[in-house]
């Protein structure tokens, strides 16, 4: 074989992997677009579903947000993890994005409370339950797929694109929000019917992702496990790895709390504590998320050179020491540019977790329970530490002790640091090739 032929084969292999990585991770963009769009446009559609005159519906309003977005995520992690380990990554990934399409479409077409009464918030609840299941299942399956389809030398780099597309979903939602608010519609039009547009867009994106995923190739690792006839996707097999399950919880706690703080909560924080106007706030958050996207593959590539553990330890140390002063400085500034720089400074260490957390977890489990092992404990931990971060921050703010949250977040990151410092580097001790 000539050198030119060998180079051509390497190029074709790299191109094939990149295509599969893109298709495998595009669902994250769709799912996080829908998640963020619901939060961003809730101000406009809340009155259509939850009139203030009905106390029963008001209670349901609180239950919808909590139950649908977070209670269902662990169940989604189990359901789609089971499907991925038992029947294949491709089937689970495709079904996940189809469910998200259905949830978005239900929200987009559901009549208002004034038209169909109590059925309106019930249908919204159903839609959020479907989306919660989908969101919970997408992470573990896509993390598994990206890790398995990547070549061993570049696994960190390729897997980092999970968070590239995940943050990209939020960026897409912000672009839609800015365009609808400032270019195409008035506030009255947004409240009357314009809020439906982002959910139609979400459904269309999901259909696009589902069509693309029809061309996914099943991973070699899953095919090998299938040929060996090992038990796949069972909780009994999963519980043979209690140490690894606890490791995922410890790995995730600090990282997910930081991620939700500097993404979902940051728009509220900058608006309320810094005092910027809504459009300026949205632009600042958009630019910081763009910076975060750029960091992901850089850090992923670094982990392929020096290992996963150094990046996690860097996040743990920097997050523990810098969170309080960064958030304190952010609270005290009135400058949009300073706010942008401070949030970017936070992303410099948060990316040490986000860029590689998927591959680290995938490298802890054998093929037959990998999607379950990554998805279930992750979803549980996100529900406890990630999804609650904005609520805890707002609670402390409401009682006049906003800075307590800064110390809370720093403490959670420190607990994860203890795990990072004592665990083995999964790049050197991966069991990706075990099928059990």
Q: What is the mean pLDDT of each run of 10 residues along the chain (436 residues)?
A: 49 66 77 80 79 57 58 87 87 88 91 86 86 84 84 84 87 89 84 90 87 79 78 82 92 92 84 79 90 94 93 96 94 90 96 92 89 89 83 82 92 95 86 68
**Whether this model's pTM surpasses 0.75:** yes
* Domain regions of the chain by residue span: 18-232, 242-364+388-429
Q: What is the pLDDT of residue 57?
A: 54
Spell out the alpha helix ranges (H) of 110-193.
Answer: 113-116, 119-149, 155-159, 161-179, 187-192
pLDDT of residue 7: 45
Q: In angstroms, what CA-CA distances link 61 with 67, 110, 149?
A: 10, 16, 41
| Residues 180, 254 contacting (CB under 8 angstroms) | no
pLDDT at 60: 53
pLDDT at residue 436 in the model:
64
Ranges of beta strands (E only) in 224-369 are none
Residue 145's contacts (CB-CB under 8 Å, 6 or more residues apart) are 24, 84, 89, 93, 216, 219
Joined tokens for residue 352 = 């040490």
Class in CATH terms, 242-364+388-429: mainly alpha
pLDDT of 410 reads 95
Residue 129: the pLDDT is 86
Residue 263 to residue 261: CA distance in whole angstroms: 6
CA distance to 142, 202, 255, 300, per residue, from 22 (Å): 11, 18, 24, 15
**Nearest C-alpha neighbor of 193 from the set 358, 47, 377:** 47
Return the closest-CA partner of residue 123 out of 60, 69, 197: 60
Least Cα distance to 24 among 123, 176, 161 occurs for: 161
Q: Which CATH number fits domain 18-232: 1.10.3720.10, 3.40.50.2000, 3.20.20.70, 1.20.1250.20?
A: 1.20.1250.20
* Residue 104 to residue 410: CA distance in whole angstroms: 35
- Alpha carbon separation from 265 to 1, 9, 84, 260, 338 (Å, rounded): 56, 46, 32, 6, 18
| pLDDT given for residue 59 in this prediction | 46
The helix (run of H) or strand (run of E) holding residue 263 is: none
Indicate the length of the chain as a whole number: 436
Same CATH fold assignment for domains 18-232 and 242-364+388-429: yes
């Amino acid at each position: 074989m000539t050198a030119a032929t060998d180079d051509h084969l390497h190029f074709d292999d790299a191109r094939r992997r990149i295509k599969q990585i893109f298709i495998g991770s595009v669902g994250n963009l769709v799912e996080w677009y829908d998640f963020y769009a619901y939060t961003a446009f809730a101000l406009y559609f809340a009155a259509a579903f939850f009139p203030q005159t009905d106390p029963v519906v008001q209670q349901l309003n609180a239950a919808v947000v909590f139950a649908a977005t977070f209670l269902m995520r662990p169940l989604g992690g189990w359901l789609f993890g089971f499907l991925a380990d038992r029947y294949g990554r491709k089937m689970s990934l495709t079904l996940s994005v189809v469910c998200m399409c259905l949830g978005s479409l239900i929200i987009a077409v559901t009549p208002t409370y004034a038209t169909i009464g109590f059925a309106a918030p019930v249908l919204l609840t159903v839609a959020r339950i479907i989306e919660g299941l989908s969101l919970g299942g997408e992470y573990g399956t896509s993390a598994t797929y990206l890790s398995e389809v990547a070549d061993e030398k570049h696994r960190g780099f390729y897997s980092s694109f999970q968070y590239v597309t995940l943050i990209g979903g939020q960026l897409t939602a912000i672009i839609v929000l800015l365009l609808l608010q400032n270019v195409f519609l008035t506030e009255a039009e947004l409240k009357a019917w314009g809020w439906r547009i982002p959910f139609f867009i979400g459904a269309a994106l999901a259909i696009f992702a589902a069509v693309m995923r029809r061309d996914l190739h099943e991973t070699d690792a899953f095919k090998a496990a299938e040929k060996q006839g090992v038990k796949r996707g069972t909780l009994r097999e999963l519980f043979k790895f209690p140490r690894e399950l606890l490791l995922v919880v410890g790995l995730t706690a600090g990282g997910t709390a930081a991620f939700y703080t500097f993404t979902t909560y940051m728009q509220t924080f900058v608006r309320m504590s810094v005092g910027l106007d809504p459009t300026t706030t949205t632009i600042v958050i958009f630019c910081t998320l763009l910076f975060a996207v750029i960091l992901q593959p850089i850090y992923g590539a670094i982990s392929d050179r020096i290992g996963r553990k150094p990046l996690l330890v860097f996040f743990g140390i920097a997050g523990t020491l810098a969170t309080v002063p960064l958030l304190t400085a952010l609270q005290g500034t009135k400058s949009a540019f300073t706010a942008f720089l401070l949030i970017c400074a936070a992303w410099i260490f948060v990316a040490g977790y986000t860029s590689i957390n998927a591959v680290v977890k995938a490298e802890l489990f054998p093929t037959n329970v990998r999607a379950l092992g990554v998805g279930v404990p992750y979803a549980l931990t996100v529900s406890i530490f990630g999804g609650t971060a904005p609520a805890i921050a707002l609670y402390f703010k409401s009682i006049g002790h906003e800075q307590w949250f800064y110390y809370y977040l720093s403490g959670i990151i420190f607990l994860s640091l203890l795990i990072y410092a004592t665990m083995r580097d999964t790049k050197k001790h991966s069991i990706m090739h075990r099928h059990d």
